[in-house]
Structure 1
Amino acid sequence: MKNNIVETKGSYFYFLFDNLIKYGIAVLYFLVAVMFYLRTYDSCQIKITLTQIGGSLIILLWILKYLENPKQTTKFYLQNWQVVLPFVLFLLSGLQSHFLMSPLKYASGAEVVRRIIYMLTAIVVIREINSLEKVSRIIRWLLFALFVSTFYGLIQYLDGKFFPPNPAVGLDPFIWRQAFGTRIFSTFGNPNFYGDFLVAMSPVCLAMFMYKKNPVYLILWLMTAFNTYVTYSKGAWIGFTAGFVYFWFLYIIFFSHAKVQNIRKFVVLGVISIVLVTGVGVYRQWVSNTNSAKFRIYTWLSCWEMMNTSPVLGSGIGTFYVTYPAWRRPQIFYIEAKHNTESDHPENEYLEVWYDEGIVGFGIFLWLIIALATTAVKALKKFSTPAVVVDKKGRQKEVSEDLRAYYMLGLLSGWLGSLTHNWVCVSMRFVSSGTVVWLLAGLIASLIVNNPLPERSEENVISLYLALFLNTLFWLINFLWWRMTTDVAVTVSLVLFIVGVVIEEINKGKEYTISKNLNFSSAKPIQRVIQIVCVIIAIYLATIFRGYFIGDIHHNIAIFYSKQGDWSNALTNYNIVAENNPGFIMCHYFMGNVFNDRWTLTREFHPEWGDKETDEPWTEIEPAKKGRVDPERSISKYQDVWKLAPNYVQSHHQAGVVYMKLGTYFKNNGDTQKAVYYFNKALECFWKYHKIDPIFPVNYQRMAWVYMQLGNMEMAEKMYKAHLFTQWLCQSPEDVISPKKISTEEEKQRYEELKKQFEEESQWVCCDYHKRQHYLLSTEDWAIRRAQEYSDSYLQLGNFYYVKKNYQEAEKFYTRAINRYEQNFNAWKNLIVLYKETNQMQKLTELINYYHKKFPSDTQLSNLR
């Protein structure tokens, strides 16, 4: 490394853009790491907006600088094409995946924007972070962000350990305190995202300690390690350990020199210890709660099947979450114990890249990783070449004095650690940690190509304070423009400026000189026109990204009003969200649900709820009036959902409810023809939902009810049986009672009865779509997790036969309802009524005695009254 300044020809504007870039990158990534805003629906939506607008600014400044001297920048990239090309191709892969392969542009739009920002900022860093001054500045700001986040993480830990849960007052002053129980999430809003940030930054901090031997870095690393532990994220533990192993493996190879044998002993012992501790910790976590691992395994299986539908070019970047519902296995519903949830990602970055962009995009991704890692190792070997120095005692020894070697050691280890972590998560897709992961990649590439690395590579044309002030002013204007509260915007900006001055003054080192007498600009008129066009485009994009942020604020407000039952204000705010972010699926879905629940059948015109002059009164309820009724509004919003995500959550079921209620309305009003029409529309929607969720009991119950309204009692019976069949979709009798563990005659008898029950119920196939053989990998007693639901279906089926006076079948299913879930007291009561009505007194006595055996404390049969 040469301790000098590289002379570069350029204008005042050229160097101005350079100065703004070198400070802008450092400030941006600091803000992304530490900022959150609790007035938005997503508390970390501000990180997304910071990345979108801040990333656009950095890219804009880079383009403006490029246009000031295009030949020089073009020459640089062409000379270093081997390092730059994988980034460019990975960017192009994402673009072709969005524009050519994705059938759902809105769904893939958010992901392709992130890909553009990640790759272009990395490419910018490769070229523009071309001096020790610039690299060191970014490292300093990142480490300070690490300190802020880990310090707040310690506060969260102490708050969860020694203070009562919300809404009581605790050490953590923010309303989201203890949102994940005892798991900390710091400024990242999610333990896994926070863990990935710690994984990436931990080796960087450790490298600085090994270089400077300053205990402050060791303390910060210990804080990082502790924070990683108390995220209780198994993936983060694995990634942290991987980064630690990579770090010391590289250190032994390239840094130990003369004392290699002595150092190797301690390093190997330490590495083995932390690997064992991590292994034990992960195993204990897995044993205590196997759902996390099972969730990933079954999601990966579905993702593999999805990949096979378009294995070469993929199915479209960012479309996993909108296509996955059609492939989701029933086990996921058992694990989550909910049905109104969505899985946005397959919890494996490598699988998702393959699904998104096919084997071509996946190959480019692997090429980028392998090429960058191998060239980084070669560069590390050069940087770490030892120099002979004389210590204080006059002894000669070999040491690596090149700071680049330690930067490369930390950056490479952190990057590889994060890539390891992302085998079991997709944190690098989210801006909170993804920004840092790709920044590290850019810094690694920058150190590789900018060799030798000068102390300072460009002229300073503005003062340190002015540069920080301009950055602070830019973000203050944005915060106010985004409608953040004035006190928060001003406070954050003021603190940012003070922190920036302190960080830069402490580490300024040599005198900060400002160059003068430079040409104002060397750009030609056409270049100036292009620059102006780029600025206009950037401003336009900023208004779009701002709209997303404002929409998220109003989404939070809308949910508040919904919880209060203030439907009018809720809908008004939801409509503002839809106007600012038309691709926000949840907003359309929530609006549909609000209209569905409110169910106002008085036709009125409300533009603030999305009503338009061109709306048609297709329900023919009060057709002469202007406006819409809630069923029309609800279906309209569900249709908006389906344009963005064809199988979003429970939208098909909810639409079925709308049609079912319409059918009931027209039936009660004597319009049989319309009632039949809407009942059939309801069945159409319910069957669609059945395809993506075969174990939702309410769907079967509502289909059975609709078939009853249509007079089709045979299909109504089949619906109850179809739901009961699904308890055998993922298991067999051996999963309920293991033959190997049978030790008594009673257990043997129960097992034989269960086999007979299985033989009967496994014939009640729910449809041609869901097959037992498709779901029988690694079986277990899944149905026990939904015992109450299946018991209720047995009860409903028993009631069905009781009404038909088929008492033998009714008795059988009431009994199965009790056996499936003993606290189904309605089944007990109905069976007692059946025995009384059929005068089976002996069975009645036996049943009551059995009840006393199961519930000895209920001597008065109070549960059965």
Structure 2
Amino acid sequence: MSAKKISTPTKKAPTSPLGAFIRKCLPVVTGWLCLLVSISFFTGTYDTAQVKLTLLHAGAIVLLGLWAALKIAEWKTPFSRQNFPFLFPIFAYLGWNIISFICGPFHLESAEEFIRLLMYGGIMMLIATEFTQKDIRTLTKFIIIAAWISFAYGALQIVDGFWPGADFLPWRGFFTRRIFSTHANPNFFGAFVVFASAVAGAQYLATRKKSLLVLLGLGLVELFFTESKGAWLAYGAAAAVGTFLFTNRIFPTKHIKKLNLAAAGVLLAALILAGTYTAKRFQSVSFRSFTWLAAFEMVQDSPVIGTGPGSFKIIYPAYKRPQIFYIENSHNTETQHAENEYLEQWATTGTVGLAIFLWLLAFVFICAWKNLQTAGQLSAAERERAFYLLGYATALAGLMAHAFVDISLRFASSGLFFAVFIGVIIALSNPPQEDNSKEKIFFSAPWLLWGTRLVLAGALAYAAWKVLGEFKEISDSMSASKLGDGFLICCAWTVLLGCILGVGYVYLRAAWTSRAARTGLLLAATVPGLVWFYGLFQANHYYSLGVRLIQMHNAEGALPYFTRAVKLNPLLTEYRQYRANTFATIFDLTTQYSPARGDMDKPSNDYERALTDFAWVLKYAPNHTALHQNTGQLYYAMALRASQEAAQAKSADEFQLYSQIARDNMEQAKRAFKRSLALDPVNAETYLFLTSISLMERNPAQAQAWIDAYKRGPKGVTEEEFLEKNRHNPQINALEMQVQKIISSVGK
């Protein structure tokens, strides 16, 4: 597919009042979405970046709903003979991902990420087909504002590193002196600095506003304090690409070679800086190396179609290298992404999917290259367009360079901008042409029109009441005793009310402007989606409360919150996993009906409830790192409880019953622990349980064999720094002494 060069953009023909209103709304809503996703951060949920996902999901529904209402009202397809060649790579990318997802083995756990991918594709096509140069000007202003806000808070975090207390917000110092501004971690903020600086830099070249130099300077300083080596490399790559495009396409000069050498020097400096810090903190390199090796093994096992988009976190644990457990020093964390976007594309969508993804990127960059023209030969409008192309192409280049060593593209704070940048470049490469076709205007009967308007108003009112009521529960659970906490609660309420009022205004005005009932009906149909995606945010809050209560040793109080989280977000198995662990902790074997514990229609006990939840996780995420370990502990606890009951039996039949239950559960425990070792051969607890079981079975030789297996270390691990931890584990050594005493006494 060629990316042909397009000349001066022309305007769309005048449309109906509804069309004019929606077309005016689309860039503003997109701009607000980019702004809020960039600056939103919320501590009332377990995942502080969950608010970004919620805003992305809701914003995408609003945007795509408005776009659909526009096209249905006009009775026009957004795809034409002119723009289809430019959209075909996007269609191919989405189409193959749909095929790969359908053919993948695990749909439930990967559904949320897959839905997000479809939303990105929709946003790409919306911008590519509907945005004019004026719309992109509006969008750019929002991105610059987001950069100012984010960079300003980043500067405050730098000051706080030298003078503690300057940052009054509750998460201050979370990454020690590494700054992360309004993003989830320093790497994500580093990615934002790179692409926001690219957009701002191009705007400076176009407008010569000195305030943009201040913004660029702030970004460069803050990028250093993120200590994100991948972001440093991406910044150097973006600077090199931007300079090359500027000197070779927009502003050719006799000093081209010198400027290109300077750009190469910036990239080299970034490489040296990253290399220096890598030598000081080599752990991150080791982590990525072992992750990449495991991901490549995934590719080899499913080379053509992959495992399905969104499935990496489900499949990867079966390939995870033991060294990762030593590096992380944890056994209950999950690696959800490959630390390399291209490798993850390869693993999850196969060689075909990776090829289409690379084709899409190549096509977009070729579009930008062919449509960049010498500024001196252009009109004011064409010159503005050239600098927009320069900024967004450079931003995309920085984002994709960072994607070689990071996962930021898989999160809303960068994933949204990936979609926006591609859409903008295609829109600028394929400007809308004059449309002289007469718009079809549909008129509905007044009673039907007013009926649909009232339905939409009622749906919006109910959604607002439900969301505000549920969010009040979140804010009530947050402490406002400190200035930072109170400030956050005020900001949260302001943003939420603003979003609700904004969506209500846009939807209702669109419905009242339209003369067709279908507009109101279509917009009303999107409202349940808004409520459902907000429910995922609420679910994360309940999960957060449950975890907090567990940490306060109030497992009984945590269960209702885990149950509510499971109900609101059935796509995430982690909630069921945690609830099952809580059942195993309380271990109340009294059979009773308890909706707070998740009972639907019949009474149960905690052992049965835990098994039900573990079975759910096993079905939809069988490689969960802690699943088999926790299941083994449940069976082990039940075996001990049954043994106690057998010891207190009042009859031979009762003794036989409990003894059989104890034996059956102990066998199940052994199977579960052995399956756990296949996924995590490093966990000392698993070996301790298996050793204890062997001792209870009066098999000290087997007990010693488990101890020897642990001290020998997992297969493939040769690093002495890791193996030393196994050889000098105090718990294992103490248990080995007991085993040796038993073996010695048996020998005598």
- TM band (smaller chain): 0.7 to 0.9
Instruction: Give the aligned residue type for 1:691.
Output: A
Shift of 1:717: 2.4
Equivalent residue number for residue 330 of structure 2? 338
Q: CA deviation digits over 1:111-151, x for unaligned, max 9?
A: 11111111111100011112x32111000000000110011
In the other structure, the counterpart of 1:184 is 179
- Provide the residue aligned with 1:640 in structure 2: 616
Displacement of 1:488 after TM fit?
3.9
Change (3 A) 1:218 1:480: same
2:25 is equivalent to residue 20 of structure 1: yes
Distance 1:333 1:182 in 2: 26
d(CA) in 1 for partners of 2:670, 2:391: 59
Name the residue aligned to 2:242: 247
1:118–1:435 contact (8 Å) kept in structure 2 = yes
C-alpha displacement of 1:725:
2.3
Any idea what the Cα deviations from partners look like across 1:266-308, whole Å, max 9, x if unmatched? x346424423332222112111111111111111111111112
Q: Secondary structure at the match of 1:122?
A: helix
Q: 390, 406, 409: which is aligned to 1:428? A: 409
- When residues 676 and 102 of structure 1 are mapped into structure 2, their CA distance, relative to the original with a 3 A threshold, is same
Q: Which residue of 2 aligns with 1:116?
A: 118
State the 1:539 CA deviation: 1.8
Which of 702, 705, 716 matches 2:692? Answer: 705
Cα pair 1:387 1:400 within 8 Å, conserved:
no
The alpha-carbon deviation at position 386 of structure 1 amounts to 2.0
Instruction: Give, in angstroms, the shift of residue 365 of structure 1.
Output: 0.4
Question: Is 1:583 matched up with 2:571?
Answer: yes
Percent identity between matched residues is: 26
**Is 2:667 aligned against 1:673?**
no
Q: In structure 2, what is the equivalent of residue 492 of structure 1?
A: 495
Q: Aligned pair in 2 of structure 1 residues 558, 727: CA closer, same or farther (>3 Å)?
A: closer
What is the CA–CA distance in structure 1 between the aligned matches of 2:498 and 2:72, rounded to whole Å? Answer: 34
* Residue number among 33, 37, 41 corresponding to 2:42 in the alignment: 37
CA distance in 1, matches of 2:46, 2:547: 8
Aligned to 1:101: 103
> Which residue number in structure 1 is paired with residue 207 of structure 2?
212
Deviation at 1:642, TM superposition (A): 1.8
Deviation at 1:781, TM superposition (A): 4.0
Alignment check: 8 A CA contact 1:33 1:187 kept = yes
Higher-Rg member (1/2): 1
Q: Kindly indicate whether the alpha-carbon contact (under 8 Å) linking 1:724 and 1:794 is maintained by their aligned counterparts in 2.
A: no
Q: Say which is worse superposed, 479-488 or 589-598, in terms of deviation.
A: 479-488
Higher relative contact order (CA 8 A, sep 6+): 2
What pairs with 1:138-287 in structure 2 (closer than 5 Å)? 138-163=139-164, 170-257=165-252, 260-262=253-255, 264-265=257-258, 267-268=259-260, 270-287=262-279
Conservation of the 8 A alpha-carbon contact between 2:79 and 2:129: no
How far off is 1:712 after superposition? Answer: 3.0
Are residues 1:797 and 2:736 paired? yes
Relative to structure 2, which stretch is displaced further, 686-695 or 15-24? 15-24
Paired position in structure 2 for 1:539: 527
Is 2:59 the counterpart of 1:54? yes
Residue 425 of structure 1: SS of its match in structure 2? coil
Q: CA offset at residue 255 of structure 1?
A: 3.0
Counterpart of 1:766? Answer: none
Note if contact 2:592-2:604 (Cα within 8 Å) is conserved in structure 1.
yes
Are the aligned partners of 2:83 and 2:129 in contact in 1 as well (CA < 8 Å)? no
Superposition TM-score, scaled by structure 2 size: 0.86
Are the aligned partners of 2:128 and 2:424 in contact in 1 as well (CA < 8 Å)?
yes
The alpha-carbon deviation at position 242 of structure 1 amounts to 0.6
Q: Helix, strand or coil for the counterpart of 2:339?
A: coil
Give the partner amino acid of 1:311: P
Q: Structure 2: how far apart are the matches of 1:205 and 1:269? A: 22
Distance 2:529 2:544 in 1: 23
* Structure 2 CA distance for aligned equivalents of residues 92 and 190 of structure 1: 32
Q: What residue identity is the alignment partner of 2:631? A: A
Q: In 2, distance between residues paired with 1:375 and 1:609?
A: 56
* Structure 1 residues 347 and 57: CA distance shift in structure 2, 3 A: same
Partner of 1:6: helix, strand, or coil? coil
Gap runs ≥5 in structure 2: 1-5, 440-456, 476-488, 503-511, 647-657
| SS of equivalent to 1:179 | coil
Displacement, 1:599?
Answer: 2.4
Pairwise CA distance, 1:804: 2.2
Other structure's SS at 2:182 match: helix
What code does the residue aligned with 2:370 have? K
Corresponding residue pairs, total: 685
CA RMSD of aligned residues (A): 3.0
Distance 2:685 2:363 in 1: 53
Equivalent residue, structure 2, for 1:611: 599
Partner of residue 445, structure 2: none
Distance 1:282 1:241 in 2: 11
Change (3 A) 1:247 1:24: same
Output the CA distance in 2 between the equivalents of 1:495 and 1:53: 13
State the distance in 2 between where 1:358 and 1:249 align.
Answer: 33
- Is 1:788 matched with 2:731? no
Q: Which residue of 2 aligns with 1:760?
A: none
**Matches for 1:646-665 after TM superposition, within 5 Å:** 646-665=622-641
1:580 positional shift: 0.3
Contact 2:631 2:672 in 1 (8 A): yes
Unaligned stretches of 5+ residues in structure 1: 164-169, 390-398, 459-469, 500-518, 615-626, 732-778, 810-837, 839-865
Cα contact 1:153–1:185 (8 A) shared by 2: yes
- Over residues 699-735 of structure 1, what are the superposed CA-to-partner deviations in whole Å (9 max), with x where a residue is unaligned? 111111112222333322221122122266411xxxx
Displacement of 1:644 after TM fit? Answer: 2.5
Q: 1:66 aligns with which of 68, 71, 74?
A: 71
Please list, as runs of the form range in 1=range in 2, the aligned pairs for 1:473-488 lying within 5 A after superposition.
480=468, 483=471, 485=475, 487-488=490-491
